[in-house]
Amino acid sequence: MRLFGGVCFSLRRSPLLFDGMKLPLLSRLSPRLRVLVLLCAAVLCLGGAAALYGNHVFLTPPPPAFQARRATPNTDVNPYGANFFLEREVEAWKRERTVQMAREAGIGWARQEFIWAEIEPEPGSFNWAKYDDIVELLRRNNIQIIARLDRPPAWARSHASATGSSGPPDDLEAYGKFVRAFAEHFRDRIYYFQIWNEPNLGREWNDAPIDPAAYTNLLKIAYQNAHAVDPDIRILSAPLAITLGEAFTPNSTQYRNMNDLQFLEEMYAAGAKDYFDILSANAFGLGSAPDDPPNPGKLNFQRVLLERAVMEKFNDTAKAVWILEYGWNAAPDTIPDSRLIWGRVTEEQQAQHTVRGVEMTRENWDWVGVVSIWYFRQVGDIPPNNPEYYFRMVDVDFAPRPVYFSVSAAAKPQRVAGPGEYEETNPALVFSGNWLYQSDINASAAQFIRTSDTVTKTKTDTATLRFYGQGLDLMFRREPGAGRLFVTIDGKAVSDLPRDESGQSFMEQASARQEWRAVIPAARGLPLAEHTVTLRAEGAVNLDGFTVLVIQPTPPPWLPIGFFSALGLGCVFLAWTQQSVPRRKREG
Q: Which domains does the chain have, with CATH numbers?
A: 2-58+568-587 (no CATH), 421-549 (2.60.120.260)
Provide the sign of the torsion angle of the four alpha carbons 268, 272, 278, 281, taken in this order. negative
pLDDT band of 11, cuts 50, 70, 90: very low
Q: SS3 for 334?
A: coil
Rounded Cα distance between 499 and 291, Å, is 53
The mean pLDDT of 445-458, rounded to a whole number, is 76
- Label residue 247 exposed, middle or buried (CB < 10 Å: 0-12, 13-18, 19+): middle
The mean pLDDT of 545-572, rounded to a whole number, is 80
Evaluate whether 98 touches 86 at the Cβ level (below 8 Å): yes
Residue 116: count other Cβ atoms within 10 Å of its Cβ.
22
The mean pLDDT of 250-259, rounded to a whole number, is 83
Q: What is the pLDDT of residue 141?
A: 95
Please choose, from the candidates 423, 408, 428, the residue with its C-alpha nearest in 3D space to the C-alpha of residue 530: 428
Which has the minimum average pLDDT: 6-15, 425-434, 460-469, 542-551? Answer: 6-15
Rounded Cα distance between 152 and 163, Å, is 15
pLDDT band of 18, cuts 50, 70, 90: very low
Q: What is the pLDDT of residue 299?
A: 95
Evaluate whether 97 touches 398 at the Cβ level (below 8 Å): yes
Please count the residues of the chain. 588
Of residues 565 and 511, which shows the higher confidence score?
511
Evaluate whether 72 touches 367 at the Cβ level (below 8 Å): yes
The mean pLDDT of 169-176, rounded to a whole number, is 96
Q: What is the pLDDT of residue 417?
A: 94
- In which element (H, E) is residue 21 found? none
Parallel/antiparallel/unpaired status of strands 542-543 and 447-451: antiparallel
The mean pLDDT of 120-128, rounded to a whole number, is 96
- Label residue 335 exposed, middle or buried (CB < 10 Å: 0-12, 13-18, 19+): middle
Does the pLDDT of residue 311 top 70, yes or no?
yes
pLDDT in tens, 178-222: 999 999 999 999 999 999 999 999 999 988 899 999 999 999 999
Does the pLDDT of residue 33 top 50, yes or no?
yes
| Cis preceding-peptide flag for 375 (omega within 30 of 0) | yes
In single-letter form, the type of residue at position 3 comes to: L
The mean pLDDT of 315-333, rounded to a whole number, is 97
Q: What is the pLDDT of residue 198?
A: 97
Which has the minimum average pLDDT: 11-25, 63-77, 283-297, 347-361? Answer: 11-25
Q: What is the pLDDT of residue 140?
A: 94
| CA–CA distances in Å: residue 313 to residues 214, 251, 265, 308 | 22, 29, 9, 9
Dihedral of the alpha carbons of 264, 265, 267, 273, in degrees to the nearest 10: 100
Paired residues of 536 in beta bridges = 462, 486
Does the pLDDT of residue 15 top 60, yes or no?
no
Rounded Cα distance between 365 and 72, Å, is 10
Of residues 308 and 495, which shows the higher confidence score?
308
pLDDT band of 13, cuts 50, 70, 90: very low
Rounded Cα distance between 10 and 7, Å, is 5
Q: Which residues of 42-62 are buried (b: 16+ CB within 10 A; e: fewer)?
A: beebbebbeebbeebeeeeee
Rounded Cα distance between 418 and 421, Å, is 9
Of residues 96 and 57, which shows the higher confidence score?
96
Dihedral of the alpha carbons of 97, 100, 102, 104, in degrees to the nearest 10: -130
| CA–CA distances in Å: residue 161 to residues 113, 135, 168, 247, 327 | 21, 32, 11, 18, 30
Q: What is the pLDDT of residue 39?
A: 76
Rounded Cα distance between 544 and 447, Å, is 7
Of residues 517 and 26, which shows the higher confidence score?
517
Q: SS3 for 438?
A: strand
What number of H helices and E strands is found in the chain? 14, 23
Q: What is the pLDDT of residue 579?
A: 64
The mean pLDDT of 482-503, rounded to a whole number, is 94
Q: What percent of the chain has pLDDT above 70?
A: 89
Does the pLDDT of residue 6 top 70, yes or no?
no
Of residues 576 and 381, which shows the higher confidence score?
381
Paired residues of 192 in beta bridges = 146, 234
Does the pLDDT of residue 27 top 70, yes or no?
no
Evaluate whether 175 touches 193 at the Cβ level (below 8 Å): no
Evaluate whether 179 touches 217 at the Cβ level (below 8 Å): no
Please choose, from the candidates 166, 144, 57, the residue with its C-alpha nearest in 3D space to the C-alpha of residue 426: 144
Please choose, from the candidates 471, 473, 498, the residue with its C-alpha nearest in 3D space to the C-alpha of residue 486: 498
Q: Which residues contact 9 (CB under 8 A, 6 or more apart)?
A: none
Alpha-helical regions (H) of 412-507: none
Q: Which residues contact 464 (CB under 8 A, 6 or more apart)?
A: 429, 430, 432, 532, 533, 534, 535
Paired residues of 67 in beta bridges = 420
Rounded Cα distance between 328 and 391, Å, is 7
Dihedral of the alpha carbons of 19, 24, 26, 28, in degrees to the nearest 10: 90
Does the pLDDT of residue 7 top 60, yes or no?
no
Q: What is the mean pLDDT of the chain?
A: 89
Does the pLDDT of residue 367 top 70, yes or no?
yes
Rounded Cα distance between 57 and 434, Å, is 46
Does the pLDDT of residue 480 top 70, yes or no?
yes
pLDDT band of 21, cuts 50, 70, 90: very low
Which has the minimum average pLDDT: 190-194, 461-465, 579-583? Answer: 579-583
Does the pLDDT of residue 9 top 70, yes or no?
no
pLDDT band of 166, cuts 50, 70, 90: confident
Please choose, from the candidates 225, 222, 159, the residue with its C-alpha nearest in 3D space to the C-alpha of residue 196: 222
363: left (phi over 0), alpha (psi -120 to 50) or beta: alpha
Which has the minimum average pLDDT: 320-329, 517-526, 565-574? Answer: 565-574
Q: What is the pLDDT of residue 483?
A: 94
